[in-house]
Chain A
Amino acid sequence: MSQYALVIDLDKCVGCHACAVNCKAWNTGGQYGPLTDKAPYGARPEGVWFNRVQTYEVGKFPNTEVVYLPKSCMHCKDAPCVKVCPTSASYKRREDGIVLINYDDCIGCKYCSWACPYGVREFDTYDGVMKKCTLCVDRIYNDNLPADERKPACVLACPTKARIFGDIDDPSTDAFKLIRERMGYKLLPEAATEPSNYYLPKRKYKIQLNMDDILVRKHLKVETEVKVLPFTGTIAEDIASP
């Protein structure tokens, strides 16, 4: 049995929100119908988004770094939202593990969103139903699209290729390999929902700069060479002590 999911490389994510914007664009015009957006250019732009990118500052100044965390439905293997739905509108597909909502059966009770520890379900007040990431199920099986475009809209939009889509249970996929090679982790494992989306941790880089070299090379109009070595301490410490 397959389990399609996203693998998100936090090391590559630059927090540009392109994934969120493209997700919104596709899902507003796609087969699932429009997402509510009240006054998108007004002072109070309230609307439904499947994917949101949050920014965190980690560490204590001056030893800080910024982490961008794109978050959408985790397509959990043991999805609590599916279990609590009183109408079976929320369901998990056997063939690919995608968690979807049948809008025809959804009564808009919001109980599924309470049962989700990640807060990735958003209530559409206009349609009166709960909405969430569909993993672009209307793209990935769409024969009208070229084969290389049969991926979620967020994956196609990412300029740094920080988002990888694939079957995380199939050893031949990039998603499977990356999770193991880069020690991919799940968000909030304490919630015990077995989320399918994985996050690849940020790597830390050591940048060695020799100021004399830079000055000479600049003078000679030669490009500065930057050495990237495995990290041994915090960034600020390494820069401070060459």
Chain B
Amino acid sequence: MHPEMSLVILTVFSTAGQGIFIFLVVMNSIVPESLSGSYIITAALASILFQFIGMGASFFHLGNPMKGWKAIMMWRNSWLSREVISLSAFVGAASLYLIIYITEMNKSILDIVGYAGIIMSIGFLIASSMVYASIGYIKEWANAFTPATFISLGLTCGAAFALAGFYLSCHHSEIYPKINLLLIAMTIFSFILKAMAYRFNANVYTSLSVSNAIGINDKHIKLMDRGTPYAHYNTKEYFHPITEDQSSIQKNLIMIVTFLIPLLIWMLIGLLLNINSHGAAFLAISGACVMLLGLLMERRFFFIQGNHFQNLYYGNYKKSSIDNPLVR
């Protein structure tokens, strides 16, 4: 599939922003004494800002952005509609959380609104990933790894920014090393999940061939003419030219930038540095930014990997390693 940057930015920034909010609410309800006021306001603002970056980018994807609000209409059928609704509801909940905190209202109300925001966030993470996982004609997307990696990577990136915020707020607490350990564990988990997803996609089974597509039972079918003298929507939207070597290089680069470099940074912070130092704060922010960059690369490659059934008609479908047993 063609990797459209607006969708890459939408999925990465909105999931990462929700990760920040989830951590903020959980920490604020479990260990509120460890958090400074400036941290809570900054984290809630950062989470909302990330949503606006994502939503803003998504408008560039639409042909008619002014009618974008209509996307809430078919929540019964469409995952895309559910994604839009849950994202809007989340922004509302996060904004309310911020307002309640600033106006110093009841702490229990703050927690209730926060947990309501988490529920909407989980709804968004599921809906956002199911937009892709529910397309059964792209085998690389239609599997359990899609929602699992979307949720896991979003939460991990959010946690990375949350940790950077903790360090920046310079509020002494014994909880920081524990959060650092949690972040390392989450990064390792996401790394394993993503590696498994890449392995799964490399061996995804599809017995389809152009023979099935045009309904003629013959092993030797060759496309002679695409029916168009020049590229058009169907040859551009569903296909991104990439060789096996380029694909392998990109995958390795993604694993290094998204997981290994941030992991090394957090290990360095945990083992060598005083977590209250400015150096640790700088490193933590660098780690979170590197992970965000890696996530953008990962999501771009997620689109490139998608191999749509309709490519069968244009001779662009990735060849299956297994021959169709029905074709003689």
Chain A residues within 8 Å of B, Cβ to Cβ: 17, 20, 43-49, 52-60, 66-67, 69, 71, 80, 83-89, 105-111, 113-119, 122-125, 127-130, 185-188, 190-191, 199, 201-202
Instruction: Assess whether A116 is in contact with B310, with CB atoms less than 8 Å apart.
Output: yes
Instruction: Assess whether B223 is in contact with A107, with CB atoms less than 8 Å apart.
Output: no
- By a CB distance below 8 angstroms, the chain B residues around A113 are 233, 237
In the bound complex, CA of A240 to CA of B320 (Å) = 36
For chain B residues 55-75, which have a beta carbon within 8 Å of chain A?
Answer: 61-65, 67-68, 70-74
Q: Knowing A58-B220, A71-B313, A122-B233, say if A109 contacts B73 (CB, 8 Å).
A: no
Cβ-defined partner of A111 (8 Å) among B64, B131, B213 = B131
Whether, in the assembled complex, B227 has its beta carbon less than 8 Å from a beta carbon of chain A, the answer is yes
Instruction: Assess whether B208 is in contact with A111, with CB atoms less than 8 Å apart.
Output: no
**Can you pick out 8 interface pairs between chain A and chain B where the beta carbons lie within 8 Å of each other?**
A17-B227, A53-B227, A84-B79, A88-B73, A88-B74, A113-B233, A117-B308, A119-B310
Closest to A89 in B: B70
Instruction: Assess whether A108 is in contact with B63, with CB atoms less than 8 Å apart.
Output: yes
A6 to chain B, nearest CB (A): 15
Instruction: Assess whether B214 is in contact with A69, with CB atoms less than 8 Å apart.
Output: yes
Q: Knowing A56-B223, A59-B220, A69-B214, say if A46 contacts B232 (CB, 8 Å).
A: yes
For chain B residues 213-242, which have a beta carbon within 8 Å of chain A?
Answer: 213-216, 218, 220-234, 237-238
- By a CB distance below 8 angstroms, the chain A residues around B234 are 119, 122
Instruction: Assess whether B67 is in contact with A117, with CB atoms less than 8 Å apart.
Output: no
In the bound complex, CA of A118 to CA of B229 (Å) = 20
Instruction: Assess whether B70 is in contact with A87, with CB atoms less than 8 Å apart.
Output: yes
In the bound complex, CA of A89 to CA of B68 (Å) = 12
Instruction: Assess whether A187 is in contact with B214, with CB atoms less than 8 Å apart.
Output: yes
Instruction: Assess whether A107 is in contact with B63, with CB atoms less than 8 Å apart.
Output: yes
Closest to A108 in B: B63
Cβ-defined partner of B73 (8 Å) among A60, A87, A108, A130 = A87
- By a CB distance below 8 angstroms, the chain A residues around B137 are 114-117, 191
Instruction: Assess whether B212 is in contact with A105, with CB atoms less than 8 Å apart.
Output: no
Closest to B79 in A: A84
Q: Knowing A52-B228, A87-B70, A190-B212, say if A119 contacts B64 (CB, 8 Å).
A: no
